[in-house]
Amino acid sequence: MDTSLYKSFYLLLFLVFSLGTFGQSKEKLQEQKTRLEDEIKLANVILREMRDDRKESLSSLEALNQKLRIREQLIRTLSKEIIMLQDEAELQEKRFSELQEHLALQQQVYADMIRKAYAQRSNTTLMMFILSSRDVFQAAKRIQYLKQIAKARQQQIERIKETQALIAKQREEILRKQQEKTRVVERQKNEKESLQLEKKQQEEQLASFKGKEKEIESDIKKKQQQRDQLNKEIERMIAAEIKRAKEEAERRSLEKDAQSIGLVKGRDFSSKTSNALLRDIIAKKRKEREAAGDKSPEESLPSLTVESQQLAANFNANQKKLPWPVERGLVINRFGRQNHPVAKQVVIDNKGIDIATQKGSDAKAVFDGEVTRIVRIPGANKAVLISHGNYFTVYSNLTDIYVSKGDKVKIGQKLGKIYSDEESGKTQLHFEIWRDMEVLDPQAWLQ
């Protein structure tokens, strides 16, 4: 094959590989776009539930604000898609040019073959070429050579036809990409128009709260007090659970230590023997053994059982992989300190995230664990605390509870129905993640 044909062939391979890479990146963009579109649909459903036969509320403003953020993210995603389609179109055009050059080279090779064949077009010349052979073997080789030349010409014709077919297909692909880019540009234009309309709605809603700042601040302070009460109760529950887990691990370790030095449960101690007394019994037994020449090492007491340690390790390994605690939801209030959307001077300190969802939705466990507490908290309805070793997840603002204290739950298991406020139409789950007494940002752990 001619050197220029080799170069053309390898460049075509590179272009095909590049288009394949574009395809993978585009798939990720499509997934993101689909997710954002679904979130916008959910936001519309939630807003309808909040607005039906009701006045505009702070909750509906929060949902609208989140919808605006999602819409802006969708527009950014569409911008990325347009850039990618443009780059892909340029690559397709480059491939088209290379195919045309490749075709020209193939046609040039074929033209050279035809010229040579024309120079030897006389049957007499070909016959003399064969008959002038030294012997029959050389004659056979010359006949074979002539057949190979004819075959090569035919193969070159087939290559030209294949390249022409590729060029035709490439023309169609370029046209398809142009049409696709036009559709995405039009879609982005429509999304920008929708964003402007929603920003106008946002301004109208904000205007409707003018003159009600004191009332809103009072309401915020009341909710912050409820939130602080919830946080204190959660901290108390987790502290109590950590203490219980440590005591349980200590007890198991003490009993194991006692049995390792020859003490027998039911004879030397029982389940009712306090930890302090059991430590004294172990120390006394150890001194007896040491006096007899048997030195047994002191054993450190673990803070968690082996099972709890493994569960905590598994939970930690699933950071950014945990499923959401609702089937479909929007994060209305993020984790940490943030200004209120209306009363800008008021700072809210959120220990978790608030997820708006559809009426009738259930809260679901984000990981395997054990239900350690179920409590009723004023202003937050009921809350379920699940331990995952030294990690804890909290699900609050529930009404009907489907689990009981001590239940072993599986990932995705329904825990309870999320409360729907009849006055505001708000259905919202408050969700938290803790590691020991440290509160964590749930969005850094969820998928």
Domain presence at residue 279: no
Closest by CA position to 391, among listed 432, 447, 446 = 432
Domain presence at residue 370: yes
Give the least confident one: 18-27, 37-46, 104-113, 171-180.
Answer: 18-27
Residues 70 and 203 in one domain: yes
Residues 316 and 201 in one domain: no
C-alpha separations of 8 from 101, 143, 321, 379 in Å: 8, 33, 45, 72
Helix (H, G, I), strand (E, B) or coil at 432: strand
- Residue-number span of the structural domain to which 175 is assigned: 3-208
Quick check: 401 and 382 in contact, CB under 8 A? yes
CATH number for the domain spanning 353: value is 2.70.70.10
Residues 192 and 333 in one domain: no
Per-residue pLDDT at 347: 77
C-alpha separations of 238 from 158, 187, 372, 387, 437 in Å: 76, 49, 9, 9, 7
Tokens for 153, please give them: 């010409």
Domain presence at residue 83: yes
Domain presence at residue 300: no
Domain final residue, candidates 156, 191, 208: 208
Domain presence at residue 251: no
Give the least confident one: 118-132, 253-267, 375-389.
Answer: 118-132
Highest-confidence segment of 152-156, 344-348, 364-368: 364-368
Per residue in 126-153, pLDDT (tens digit) is: 556 556 666 777 667 766 766 676 676 7
Tell me whether strands 428-435 and 353-356 are parallel, antiparallel or unpaired.
Answer: antiparallel
Q: Considering the chain, what is the average pLDDT of its residues? A: 79
Per-residue pLDDT at 66: 82
Quick check: 351 and 327 in contact, CB under 8 A? no
Looking at per-residue confidence, does 376 or 150 come out higher?
A: 376
Domain presence at residue 272: no
> Average pLDDT in the 81-109 region?
77
Residues 337 and 204 in one domain: no
Per residue in 411-431, pLDDT (tens digit) is: 999 999 999 887 777 899 999
> Average pLDDT in the 169-179 region?
80
Domain presence at residue 233: no
Residues 196 and 318 in one domain: no
Highest-confidence segment of 63-67, 81-85, 97-101, 405-409: 405-409
Domain final residue, candidates 149, 180, 208: 208
Q: Does residue 202 have a pLDDT over 90?
A: no
Number of domains in the chain: 2
- HEC assignment per residue over 92-126: HHHHHHHHHHHHHHHHHHHHHHHHHHHHCCCHHHH
- For every residue of 327-376, DSSP letters joined together read SS-EEEE-SEEEE-SSSTTPEEEESSEEEE--TT-EEE-SSSEEEEEEEE
Domain presence at residue 249: no
Domain final residue, candidates 180, 208, 236: 208
Tell me how far apart the alpha carbons of residues 161 and 173 are, in angstroms, rounded to a whole number: 18
User: Which H or E element spans position 227?
Assistant: helix 213-260
Cβ atoms < 10 Å from Cβ of 334: 16
Residues 24 and 153 in one domain: yes
